[in-house]
Chain A
């Protein structure tokens, strides 16, 4: 499990620090794969499969499509952007270590608050019962959201054939 956490954080750092957009999108997909492995280890297989197929697959495809609809930087622009990025992002690993250090210090001094279970009736329910009985309104909202997403994809590819 610790290896998976390190993999997740390493992929997230790579996603933020890598200079090319396409590598950043692929780093995000790798982050999703690591997260889905962690979720699977936490005994939530349905959520893990959703994370793997939708986030690592579909969202990466959307990002790659969006990137492919733009043009390349000229060499001069690329040098300028790379220099600007280096000066801004060089502090992230240090911030990472500082945030971790502060968290460990506060955790050992104050303690980490942990939520308690909501109730026994929720504990016994499986994901199907929760989705179809307890959270039925969520499904209606998801339906409208998916239609909104279809609208977004239509906007994304509008005029593609003309170009």
Chain B
């Protein structure tokens, strides 16, 4: 590992943006009680990860490898959201609410 000391380098800007995206997504997931908003937070985390892969590929001059990983990540992301949205809508029809606290009352 090499170390870049200056925050003004492109690596620093990439990393700062990734960290801030990740912080906002984590905040959204931790403090939201609405199930759809939690999914939006998960989606924001995957945006941070996509940016991390793209920046890594650009900085190491391996854009082919990073693009292949990003395409795989996007497929995983879409499937995750489609299945999770189905589960959320199913939970809504059972409990009549999108509040995550309502799920605690289910028998399981």
Which A residues lie at the B interface, using CB under 8 A? 1-2, 5, 8-9, 12-13, 15-16, 21, 24-25, 28, 31-32, 35, 38-39, 42-44, 46-47, 50-51, 54-55, 58-59, 62-63, 65-67, 69-70, 88-89, 92, 95-96, 99-100, 103-104, 107-108, 111-118, 122-123, 125-131, 134-135, 138, 141-142, 145-146, 148-149, 151-156, 158-159
Is chain A's interface secondary structure helix, strand, loop, or mixed overall? Answer: helix
**A-B contacts, CB under 8 A, total:** 240
Contact status of A42 and B83, CB under 8 A, knowing A51-B50, A63-B40: no
Q: A9-B21, A44-B63, A104-B16 are in contact. Are A153 and B86 (CB under 8 A)?
A: yes
A153 and B70 contact, CB distance less than 8 A: no
Q: What 0/1 readout, one digit per residue, does chain B (21-49) give for beta carbons within 8 Å of chain A?
A: 10111011001001011011101100100
A62-B85 contact, Cβ under 8 Å, with A107-B12, A155-B90 = yes
Contact between chains at B40 and A103 (CB < 8 Å):
no
Closest to A6 in B: B17
Interface residues of B, Cβ cutoff 8 Å to A: 1-7, 9, 11-13, 15-17, 19-21, 23-25, 27-28, 31, 34, 36-37, 39-41, 43-44, 47, 50-51, 54-68, 70-72, 74-79, 81-90, 92-93, 98
